[in-house]
Amino acid sequence: MAASKVWLGCSDSRCPETTILGLQPGDVFVHRNIANIVSPTDINTSAVIEYAVVHLRVEQVMLCGHTCCGGAAAALGDSRVGGVLDTWLTPLKALRIAHSVELAAILDDNARAVRIAELNVEAGVKVLMSNAVIQEAIKERGLEVHGCLFDLNSGRVRDLGFGTTKGADLCGASSQIVRGNHGMLVFQAGGASMIVR
């Protein structure tokens, strides 16, 4: 069975989509990059979206940011990260400037980083919603687009209300995406085993 959804997420190793969603390999088509940035000029992201929407005919596009994001923290700082990373994080720096008053009013550094991660998801969903392939699939077959945020502390994914569903309950659990059983790979002296809970 082909994947029914495409996950656009962050490369952060703490955000494995199949574990987060409780899915098995093959259940979700995946594209990840630093800080889950969706740029209309990124041919890699565009190719993934086109393949997933046109050829796999996924039913859902999920753009998911997360708390404790290093890209968000870097965008909030004044120092350079270095190399191509400064160029890659430019959209986040632009969000910081565009929302400077709102972000400056948030005194807690962690809360400020969460807010810029939310703003990044919102900006990414706007790019997705302007993509011709996605627009056609929404019109022709009801493709859904969701903007979400994964909370590393609670392990929950929250629908931010961006996209086609505008905050609708995605899984019957008060705006949290929780699906399937969660697997855990346990390493012991004699080898490894999978525990499903």
Q: Tell me whether residue 146 is one of the annotated catalytic residues.
A: no
Distance (Å, whole) CA 159 – CA 35 = 18
Whether 10 is a known active-site residue: answer yes
DSSP secondary structure of 55-90 = IS--SEEEEEEETT-HHHHHHHSSS---THHHHHTH
Q: Does residue 137 contact residue 146 with C-beta atoms inside 8 Å?
A: no
Query: Among 15, 27, 31, 69, which one carries the catalytic annotation?
Result: 69
Catalytic residue list contains 69: yes
Annotated active-site residue in 27, 31, 64, 66: 66
Nearest Cα to 120, choosing from 142, 98, 87? 98
Catalytic residue chosen out of the listed positions 12, 15, 64, 148: 12
Give dist(CA 33, CA 30) in Å, integer: 10
Query: Would you state the structure tokens that stand for residue 35, as one six-digit string?
Result: 């800080």
Q: Cite the active site residues.
A: 10, 12, 14, 66, 69
